[in-house]
Chain A
Amino acid sequence: MTRDPHANALDDATIEQLVRDVAGSWTMPPVRLDAPSWRDRVRRPGARRLAVAGGWLGRFGQAATAAAALTVVGALIAVVLTHPPTEPGKSPQPSTGTTPGPTRGAQATPLPKILLAGDEPNPAVVVVRTERGDYARVDLATGSIDGPLTSKSSSSELRLQGGGTMVCLCVSESGSIGGMPTDNSVSLDRYDSRGKLTSSSPIQSFSGEPDPRDVGELIPDKPAHVLTNIGYSPDGRYGFVGWSVRAHPVWQSGIVVVDMRDGSIVSRLALPDASDGEGDARRVVTAPGVVGSIGSSSVAIARSWYEWTPAASLEPSYTFENDVFTAKLGNGTFSDLAPVRLASDCGATVNRAGALPDGGFWLACTQGGAELTIVRRLAADGSLLGDVRVNGGVGIDADPTALSDNGATLYVWDPSGATLTGVDLANGTKTSGKGIAAAGEGPLSALGHWLAPTAAAKSFLRGALAISPDGSRIYAIGVKGGGSSHEMAGSTGVFVFDAASLEPAGVWQPTADYVSLAVSADGRFVYAAGLPGIDAAGERQLDQQASITVYDTTDGSVRLIAGRLGGDMLSFISSALN
């Protein structure tokens, strides 16, 4: 490899040659004779035929015929809810460690492309967010998934409309400094029910500049220069485009309100500038967002930020905080912006806000994902009424909260402890219910390892809680592991709670490592999305694709499995499926 030391700049041809030189040195190391080769990884025809017939049939042994096994499976698939091991009228006792662990035996085969036990669930077509941040339509009738819908940035937010049409405030990124984009352009894109783009209208572009203090400096954190945060009013009438851009020595930020009927800009709100870090500290201020209605015509706006120091350290110290504001919002126009002084130490992320009966309001903040939730109650004069703290599992990246339909109770879920806490927002009291453990040797586990809890690492949930439309039941995804462990160990299934008493009503065993949950509009079905790349025993299984399992809420039986939905993790865009 040679170069001209006097060259002023590296042209593309030089860089291409450098890449070729480097890649040319990547040669395959010698393979140990006793190491498994590709031949050892081939699934032979017998196994593959069983896989085609349903995969999990293999667990019954190759001597069983597919027809006979299907009959048995058909009978077993109507699994019943596991009832709590408590006497009527008594509070459930905490689990005594009977949560099923990794099961023994041979490696599982992938989930089937489609398994339907009864009529198709409704809805049979769902829109999901993919791991790459785009969206896709899943047809559960055929077990198929369409290609990406928007091909835009992961900051984009898609919203379903009547008749299956979709609207998106989509974000396109461009420019690059330090590996991060410098420009974000927001457009209003409309899609028909088949996912075809029908129109696209530009809304606004935002540009941020790199930190001039760090020119030529390697900043391991790779700070952003421009950020956007898209949200919608509950009725879908308005879109909120939160934005923040670095303009050293500050971050500028604000919210643009878009009329979703015609794409016109209704109003613009500018938030106070925030420092981009003093001295050797660097700060990234995220784009603000509307986090909840806190009374008639008033909303809470949250803008989180994080700071690290020293700037170029490989192991810097981080600080996470947020700024919260209140503002009046009428006809799409903000007014009377005011900072909330007592919100800064609430937590790293403000997930929700709502009104209190006496004119005050509350904030739900999380720290470390599901690790700690703080419900901060503030009086109408801004004074602190008190905090309610709810601990959860360590190392689980999730919003563990859900709000009851009447706004009176905030539910907080601990995915690893299988504990659901209800916070009465009016008076700040809390009650908890402990989920019961799934039966380790129930009829589902007899089917095979893909129905057993997985043992693979998982650390985030995208939709951990779902409330039935009538508000009577709460469904939650359980995660095995937790405590001080940073390595999650798979799903413990879907836990079912009575919303009024928080008593456990059962748990449905997982067919995959679940990451997202949603309930149908009529409450009849619960949908759970499973991770790809992991088999039921928690072993890496490259042939296992993303999946969606649909449970019948009347008895907890598996109504449908769509097990070949591609290699991207999927999550539901809302906990309520229309």
Chain B
Amino acid sequence: MIESERDRAADQAYRDHANDVYRVAYGILRDPDEALDATHDTFARAWERWDQYDRQRPLRGWLHGIVVHLALDQLRRRRVRRLALPVLGRATASLERTTEPDPADDVTRRQLVEAALDGLRPEVRATLVLRHFYGYDYAQIGTFLGISSGTVGSTLSRAHAAIRRRLEAEDASAPGESSPATSPTLAARRGTSTEPPEVLR
């Protein structure tokens, strides 16, 4: 492919799929600026490797394969820095308190799901987005992440359980739905960003 054709194809790919690439990057990185960074890097790497793209396969999947690798690598660099703490192996979370959430139920639930996703490992978040938003099969996701199809399935199962527990725990502690298991601490955190520290391992 001559360079002008490659330029045109890459430009078209960017127009068509930049948001799809960004979504997966954000799912992994959870930071808009870093996700944007990874998105641009993805298209730069794609341009360089354009000859390796198998045109019999969907372009979006190829781009997702690149962005998963880049974003996880980017995140790894971030984790390396976070490990440089006096108390090694323990994250000292710096949590941002946000304003009270919108009382509308779906908005609250969306925030809870976002918080639950924050508590999952980046690879798990990527698996959820790739499976549930984009519908990739387990084998394809396994290829993206370098894991087996079986691991993809068990990862999804455990991720669902984690989200379910998080939502049900919050439901149980909601006003008017008192539960013996409700703790003052948990109730006090309702309406705040409860990002748990990233597990560093």
A220's contact among B19, B158, B182, B197, by CB below 8 Å, is which? B197
Check A5/B83 contact, CB under 8 A, given A179-B120, A397-B89: no
A28 and B18 contacting across the interface, CB-CB below 8 Å? yes
B168's contact among A10, A148, A315, A396, by CB below 8 Å, is which? A10
A67 within 8 A of B: no
B87 and A315 contacting across the interface, CB-CB below 8 Å? no
Compute the total of residue contacts between A and B using a CB distance below 8 Å: 199
A457 and B89 contacting across the interface, CB-CB below 8 Å? no
A41's contact among B44, B92, B181, by CB below 8 Å, is which? B44
CA distance A42 to B148 in the complex (A): 32
Nearest-Cβ distance from residue B48 to partner chain A, whole angstroms: 6
Question: Which of B42, B83, B93, B110 is most buried by chain A, counting CB atoms within 10 A of its CB?
Answer: B83
Check A38/B42 contact, CB under 8 A, given A218-B186, A395-B84: yes
Contacts of A15 in B (CB 8 A): 160, 163-164
B196 within 8 A of A: yes
B58 within 8 A of A: no
Nearest-Cβ distance from residue B23 to partner chain A, whole angstroms: 5
Give chain A's interface secondary structure class: loop
Nearest-Cβ distance from residue A10 to partner chain B, whole angstroms: 5
A25 and B76 contacting across the interface, CB-CB below 8 Å? no
B162 and A176 contacting across the interface, CB-CB below 8 Å? yes
A23 and B162 contacting across the interface, CB-CB below 8 Å? no
CA distance A561 to B98 in the complex (A): 49
CA distance A542 to B167 in the complex (A): 37
B109 and A1 contacting across the interface, CB-CB below 8 Å? yes
CB nearest neighbor in A for B182: A216
CA distance A23 to B28 in the complex (A): 11
Chain B window 65-83, contacts with chain A (Cβ cutoff 8 Å), 1 for yes, 0 for no? 0000110111011001101
Chain A window 103-135, contacts with chain B (Cβ cutoff 8 Å), 1 for yes, 0 for no? 000000000000000000000000000010000
A408 within 8 A of B: no
Q: Report B43-57 residues with CB < 8 Å from chain A CB.
A: 43-45, 47-48
Q: Report A160-217 residues with CB < 8 Å from chain B CB.
A: 174, 176, 178-179, 215-217
CB nearest neighbor in A for B173: A216
B160 and A488 contacting across the interface, CB-CB below 8 Å? no
Nearest-Cβ distance from residue A554 to partner chain B, whole angstroms: 33
CA distance A540 to B80 in the complex (A): 12
A406 within 8 A of B: no
Contacts of A154 in B (CB 8 A): 201
Question: Which of B19, B77, B119, B151 is most buried by chain A, counting CB atoms within 10 A of its CB?
Answer: B77
Contacts of A43 in B (CB 8 A): 44, 48
Nearest-Cβ distance from residue A544 to partner chain B, whole angstroms: 10
A314 within 8 A of B: yes
Contacts of B41 in A (CB 8 A): 38, 41, 542
B44 and A533 contacting across the interface, CB-CB below 8 Å? no
B22 and A18 contacting across the interface, CB-CB below 8 Å? no
A222 and B169 contacting across the interface, CB-CB below 8 Å? no
A22 and B114 contacting across the interface, CB-CB below 8 Å? yes
Q: Report A6-57 residues with CB < 8 Å from chain B CB.
A: 9-10, 12, 15-16, 18-29, 31, 36-43, 48
A466 within 8 A of B: no
A138 within 8 A of B: no
A217 and B105 contacting across the interface, CB-CB below 8 Å? no
Contacts of A487 in B (CB 8 A): 81, 84
A263 within 8 A of B: no
Chain B window 171-201, contacts with chain A (Cβ cutoff 8 Å), 1 for yes, 0 for no? 0110000010111011001000010110101
B1 within 8 A of A: no
A151 within 8 A of B: yes
Nearest-Cβ distance from residue B99 to partner chain A, whole angstroms: 18
B69 and A18 contacting across the interface, CB-CB below 8 Å? no
A179 and B119 contacting across the interface, CB-CB below 8 Å? yes
CA distance A9 to B172 in the complex (A): 12
CA distance A320 to B86 in the complex (A): 13
CA distance A258 to B79 in the complex (A): 36
CA distance A28 to B201 in the complex (A): 30
CA distance A397 to B163 in the complex (A): 32
A534 within 8 A of B: yes
Contacts of A12 in B (CB 8 A): 160
Check A567/B86 contact, CB under 8 A, given A41-B41, A459-B80: no
CA distance A551 to B172 in the complex (A): 61
Contacts of B167 in A (CB 8 A): 10
A542's contact among B45, B89, B109, B110, by CB below 8 Å, is which? B45
Chain A window 362-374, contacts with chain B (Cβ cutoff 8 Å), 1 for yes, 0 for no? 0000001101000
Q: Report B125-151 residues with CB < 8 Å from chain A CB.
A: 128-129, 132-133, 146, 148, 151
Contacts of A397 in B (CB 8 A): 83-84, 88-89
Contacts of A26 in B (CB 8 A): 22-23, 26-27
A368 and B88 contacting across the interface, CB-CB below 8 Å? yes
B194 and A218 contacting across the interface, CB-CB below 8 Å? yes
Check A457/B196 contact, CB under 8 A, given A218-B169, A312-B186: no
* Residues in B lying within 8 Å of A, measured CB to CB: 10, 14, 18-19, 22-23, 26-27, 32, 35-36, 39-45, 47-48, 69-70, 72-74, 76-77, 80-81, 83-90, 92-93, 95, 105-106, 109-110, 113-114, 117, 119-120, 128-129, 132-133, 146, 148, 151, 154, 158, 160-169, 172-173, 179, 181-183, 185-186, 189, 194, 196-197, 199, 201
Closest 4 A/B residue pairs (Cβ) = A459-B84, A38-B43, A216-B181, A41-B44
Question: What are 7 A-B contacts defined by CB distance under 8 Å?
Answer: A10-B163, A19-B128, A21-B113, A29-B32, A310-B185, A460-B88, A486-B84
* Residues in A lying within 8 Å of B, measured CB to CB: 1-3, 5, 9-10, 12, 15-16, 18-29, 31, 36-43, 48, 131, 148, 151, 154, 174, 176, 178-179, 215-218, 220-222, 306, 310, 312-315, 318, 320, 368-369, 371, 394-397, 456-460, 486-488, 531-534, 540, 542-543, 567, 569
